[in-house]
Structure formats: structure tokens, C-alpha cells
Copies of this chain bind each other. A is one copy, B any other.
Amino acid sequence: MDLHILDHRLRVTSICKNGLVNFTHPLIKLIFLRNRARCKFFSLTETPENYTVVLDEEGFKELQPSEHLLVESSVWLPLNVVSNGNSSSSSQAVGVTKIAKSVIAPLAQQHVSVFMLSTYQTDFILVREKDLAVVINTLEEEFNIYREVGGEYSAVLSQDVCNGFQKNGKEAPQLTVHPLLIPQNQFCVMSLDPDTLPAIATTLIDVLFYSNSPKEGALPSQDLDCIKFFSFSLIDGYVSLVMDTEAQRQFPADLLFTSSSRELWRMVRIGGHPLGFDECGIVAQISQPLADNNISAYYISTFSFDHALVPEEDIVSVIEMLQQHRKEPAC
């Protein structure tokens, strides 16, 4: 299989809930006005805590410094696993499950912190630019690694970047067991033709920027077991949307599509208090048992917490296996 190091230098930021009004202008530009913004990698995820915005440096320039904006200090690079047809495709599982053993586990082993961003189209594994040498050194046994520069891919050789770099020892990192939250809402992972984005503009704007203000005639949701979670990304021209079925009902049914109709997902939210960016192995803890059981999963990291989405019909067994896995000593 091939691993691509994509040509985006990303920043991971967070806008606080009541600060969003101050960022409406740049965010609408980044989402809807591709002629004006030069941003090629943009992702916005609303959670109960805040809005996580991941974007490239061109996009980051649009965000004015503010007390409402937190910025993780590193530059992050997105990696992307490309099945080039040579791999054994016996696994039907999609998402982070596919890369759990080949990417996620080895990086955790090497104490590399990852920030995951699954989309409708693919799964981006974000790693810190400063960790790139160890990433390449760790993954080159499993992958042909290519680095994208200006649209061209060239093979990366470990000796080019590693300069006598030594792998970390095999000592397993000390894993924290984070609490899991299982909200009741059902989620969809969807896409739409980017040319039809204007057709859903007012609905998307409403959901993204005004869903916390009361709507005339609408009753506030009383369901405390449901979680606010909405993710939009526009990456290299591809749109991906993750929303619960309640939000989905606000969009015209004929424009958004899922990979298979009526495919619903349940969420496992990881973390009782904000996870930070330095702990390694969080994604591995979750994706390992899913891979062992061949259960598909999307995985979306945000500024404060991580979120795995698993098929609705598997949620009971997933909860069981995660609880089981946690009782075992860290491998």
C-alpha cells in the first residue's frame, strides 16, 4: 500500500462557543467562496465544548487572533493511505479500522501523537511536522511513502529524512484509560457535489452559525442524552458532512448522499476531560479492538475530545469489546 504525505501544512484551532459570531465572516468565506479564499484544506466541527477548525496556512491567515481563538502550536501534516490494488482487500471494514494495525498502532508504539480526521472520502491521519522523520521511519516497512509537492508525488526514502535517527525503544507507552460516552443520536456521513454547495448554503449557515439561538416555533431539544456534533469539511474540493439525523432533516434529501442509503452510525466519545494533543495511543486504544473484530469506524478528533463512529447495529458489541479491551493489560 502507499502512504501519501499531502501538501498541506495544517493548523488545529478552536473557537469558543460564544466567540463564533466573531468568526462568521472568515468561516463563510472559507466554506462558500472558494474563489476568494485560497484554502484547500478546511474542516469545522461543532461539539458541545467548542468549534474545532483545522485548516491550511492560507486558510489560517483568514482567522484574526482573538481571545476566542485557541491555536495548537504545531504545524500538522495530513497522511493518507491509498489502496493501490495490490493490498489484500479481504477486509470489508472502512475508515480508521483499515489503518488501525498498519498506521495507528505503530505510530502509538513510537509515541507519535496523531489527530484523526475521517471524512466521507477518506481518513486523514494528521501528525506533527516535527514527527515526520519518526513517522517515515516507522511506516516505511509497511508502505511505499510518497510526498506531494505542488501536485506531484515523489517517493520518500527514509535515509533522506532520518539522518541517523533511531526508533524509540519498544517500551509500551503508559496508556490512560479515558471514560467513554455513548450518546443516543444516530449519525450520517455524507457528501454532496461541491457545485451544489450553494444550494444548501442557507441551511448549512443556519445549522453551523445559528443553531444555538432559538428558532421561532421550534421547541428546544429536551434530549439530554443526545450530543451536539456537526462536522463539515471541504478538502481538495471534496465535501464531507457528518451530522445527526435531526440535523439531516433540515437539508434537502436530494442533494446529500451517503455511500449506502440509510446508513446510520452511533458515536463513542472518548475523554472525560479534554485530551490535549500530546498523549499517544488514544486512537489505537479504540481502533485496535475494532480492527480485531473487523468493524468499520470513522474517527474524528477535535480540540477537546475524540469521536469514533461505528455502525448502528454494532454499537452494543463495540461497547462490550471496548470495555473488555480496557480490562486487559496494555499490550
Q: How far is A50 from B210 in the complex, measured between Cα atoms in Å?
A: 26
Contact B198 A202 (CB under 8 A): yes
The answer, among B20, B28, B201, B210, for a CB contact under 8 Å with A36, is B210
Contact B205 A36 (CB under 8 A): no
Interface centre among A20, A199, A206, by most chain B C-beta atoms within 10 angstroms, is A206
Contact B210 A33 (CB under 8 A): yes
**Residue A216 at the chain B interface, CB threshold 8 Å:** yes
The answer, among B24, B26, B35, B216, for a CB contact under 8 Å with A215, is B35
Name A's interface SS.
helix
Contact with B along A31-60 (1 / 0, CB 8 A): 011011010000000000000000000000
Complex contacts, A209 vs chain B, CB 8 Å: 25, 28
Q: How far is A311 from B35 in the complex, measured between Cα atoms in Å?
A: 34
Contact A25 B21 (CB under 8 A): yes
Contact B202 A38 (CB under 8 A): no
Protomer copies: 2
Complex contacts, A25 vs chain B, CB 8 Å: 20-22, 24-25, 209
Complex contacts, A217 vs chain B, CB 8 Å: 35
Q: How far is A214 from B213 in the complex, measured between Cα atoms in Å?
A: 32
Contact B21 A215 (CB under 8 A): no
The answer, among B22, B28, B203, B210, for a CB contact under 8 Å with A205, is B28
The answer, among B22, B199, B213, B215, for a CB contact under 8 Å with A22, is B22
Q: How far is A22 from B210 in the complex, measured between Cα atoms in Å?
A: 16
Q: Which of A4-33 contact B (CB under 8 A)?
A: 20-22, 24-26, 28-29, 32-33
Tier of interface size on chain A? 20 to 34
Contact A24 B35 (CB under 8 A): no
Known interface pairs A22-B22, A25-B24; A205-B38 also in contact (CB < 8 Å): no
The answer, among B21, B29, B215, for a CB contact under 8 Å with A210, is B29
Contact with B along A188-216 (1 / 0, CB 8 A): 00000000011101110110011001111
Complex contacts, A197 vs chain B, CB 8 Å: 202
Complex contacts, A29 vs chain B, CB 8 Å: 210
Q: How far is A57 from B32 in the complex, measured between Cα atoms in Å?
A: 30
Contact A38 B216 (CB under 8 A): yes
* Nearest residue, chain B, Cβ from A213: B36
Complex contacts, A38 vs chain B, CB 8 Å: 216
Complex contacts, A199 vs chain B, CB 8 Å: 198-199
Known interface pairs A24-B28, A25-B21, A28-B28; A36-B216 also in contact (CB < 8 Å): yes
Complex contacts, A215 vs chain B, CB 8 Å: 35-36
Contact B206 A33 (CB under 8 A): yes
* Nearest residue, chain B, Cβ from A209: B25
Complex contacts, A203 vs chain B, CB 8 Å: 198
Complex contacts, A33 vs chain B, CB 8 Å: 202, 205-206, 210
Contact with B along A211-249 (1 / 0, CB 8 A): 001111100000000000000000000000000000000
User: 6 pairs across A/B with beta carbons < 8 Å?
Assistant: A22-B25, A25-B25, A32-B202, A35-B215, A36-B206, A36-B216
